[in-house]
Structure 1
């Protein structure tokens, strides 16, 4: 789809404003997780891209000299296409690394407030991930830039690629969350033929697991139900989402909450949650508080 350069600038400017606003709102713990560190790096990359595109587009001569190279509107379209491909390629690695980070936090009870070493590691991982993804787009992917065969000063629109990775990631994680919830809801039926003592214990554990899953899903949906409807409406049109807008801070915040819900439902640290010992990854949108029956906890 062809998009005018002013529209691209407007979208990038709005995205930068959204990125830095969310970074500021989460400033107390933004750098305590991989997603937080990556969100800051994304805001920096988006700001740099916006400044470059704006400078070239608004320059009176129609080009800008940078380190002896002549940058024109050809390079504006090329840069937008390349960055869009990089953002699309980053979706799944970001999900995997963020999921591992949350899994380690919950299972190993890592406290993010005292994990300066983890912050340093995530900074290095984030820098390496950007570098590796750029190399993949340039050297290994089948990405081919598409440019108009007209003089650079006549270019008013850029061909923009779209991304489907957001829908794939959201559908997979939501399906996983739904399967875990369904399994927890039906788990009590598996213990009907057990001995009486084991049956009581198993039912108590199943009840506790259902409680964790139910509360986690409720907390997530209570916060992000409107955003899920927005995602559904967003992907109804055939054109989809431009790739250069697909990876943004709002999506990372949603992804953070969704991954926390999935990890809590899969790991189900009921006893630690009941005693307040479990370390839940920081989340500025969902309040991950759980309530349990003391009788059920005693039986487990």
Structure 2
């Protein structure tokens, strides 16, 4: 009777483990599927500008890695236990593969942020004139190099190796890495935006009330009126900052609020979820706004070599800096009253 009871308990425990593993695999599949669909939708909105800068190329590579993860989870979940190239793959490898990708994603924020800054700095400075095909090749090599170096660091780090080995010892427990880099990047951007809003709150609210929707060069843009006795002649760099803030928040305000909630509630988001294409384009817009402000004296709305942001039309911030008689040239379509 005792032996029979032990056998029943053992079978129930194995069934519980198998059910738990199935739940983990199914959850990872649904999350990765949702992220892949989000990638496709976002890249569809940016298809005309995706290959104009490093960030666009990196977003495409991230979408391909997410697709690879989705296909791998699907194949392993379907066949459950099979041998590929001499390696036996089971459901345990779903968690292992996702963990490796999660660690890799978690260490990518600083390198991508730095390379994007260098890329935009070179575009603004125009110190290097490269043929378009050569530029594409450089972006492609930079993306490949970043992925290879970060993956090599992850696989060669002793602490990460111990973490992955512990998961092998307990395959039904599948924790995921939460990136500290993402936390600091997000905190820095929210802090900068908060300081700008506190410093220029009256200017920002006045701009929001005075924004006009007008037509310029056969394109509909937001136009900030240019008062005849404005501060542009005194401190144009300080005056353009509220305009950049309004343009940025006009597109990314929901995302900024989401970042604030995540930081205040200390939500722990796995790195393989947190590193996504909308987040990268949010960072991309912040970088472009920062470099626009630092290089405001070099700007020309007719210069198409400037960084192209697929989500924010920055040129409307600088029309008053280059064309003071726009109101005489173009008839405003409407006035927004807030």
Q: TM-score range with shorter-chain normalisation?
A: 0.7 to 0.9
Alignment pair present for 1:169 and 2:185: yes
Aligned to 1:228: 256
Tell whether 2:135 aligns with 1:118. yes
Name the SS of the counterpart of 1:58 in structure 2: helix
Q: Which residue of 2 aligns with 1:29?
A: 49
Q: Could you list the per-position Cα deviations for residues 151-196 of structure 1 after superposition, in whole angstroms to 9, with x for gaps in the alignment? A: x6xx4x62222223222112223445666788999xxxxxxxxxxx
Instruction: Provide the C-alpha distance between the structure 2 equivalents of 1:178 and 1:266, rounded to a whole number of angstroms.
Output: 19
RMSD: 3.0
Structure 2: give runs of 5+ residues left out of the alignment: 1-20, 202-230, 326-338
Q: Is the 8 A contact 2:57 2:139 kept in 1?
A: yes
Corresponding residue of 1:46:
66
Instruction: Tell me what 1:219 maps to.
Output: 247
Question: Do the aligned partners of residues 276 and 109 (structure 1) sit closer, same or farther apart at CA in structure 2, a change above 3 Å counting?
Answer: farther
Does residue 286 (structure 1) correspond to residue 315 (structure 2)? The answer is no
- Tell me, in whole angstroms, the C-alpha distance in 2 between the residues paired with 1:235 and 1:104: 33
TM-score of the superposition, structure 2-length normalised? 0.71
Does the 8 A contact of 1:91 with 1:165 survive in 2? yes
Cα distance in 2, alignment partners of residues 15 and 295 from structure 1: 43
- State the alpha-carbon separation in 2 of the partners of residues 104 and 18 from structure 1: 31
Higher relative contact order (CA 8 A, sep 6+): 1
1:195 counterpart residue number: none
TM-score, normalised with respect to structure 1: 0.79
Q: Could you tell me whether the CA contact under 8 Å between 1:213 and 1:264 is conserved in 2?
A: no
Q: Alignment length, in residue pairs?
A: 270
What does residue 210 of structure 1 align with?
A: 238
| Contiguous gaps of at least 5 residues in structure 1 | 186-202
Residues 131-210 of structure 1: pairs in structure 2 closer than 5 A: 131-140=148-157, 142-143=159-160, 144-145=163-164, 146-147=166-167, 149=169, 155=172, 158-176=174-192, 204-210=232-238
Structure possessing the higher radius of gyration over alpha carbons? 2
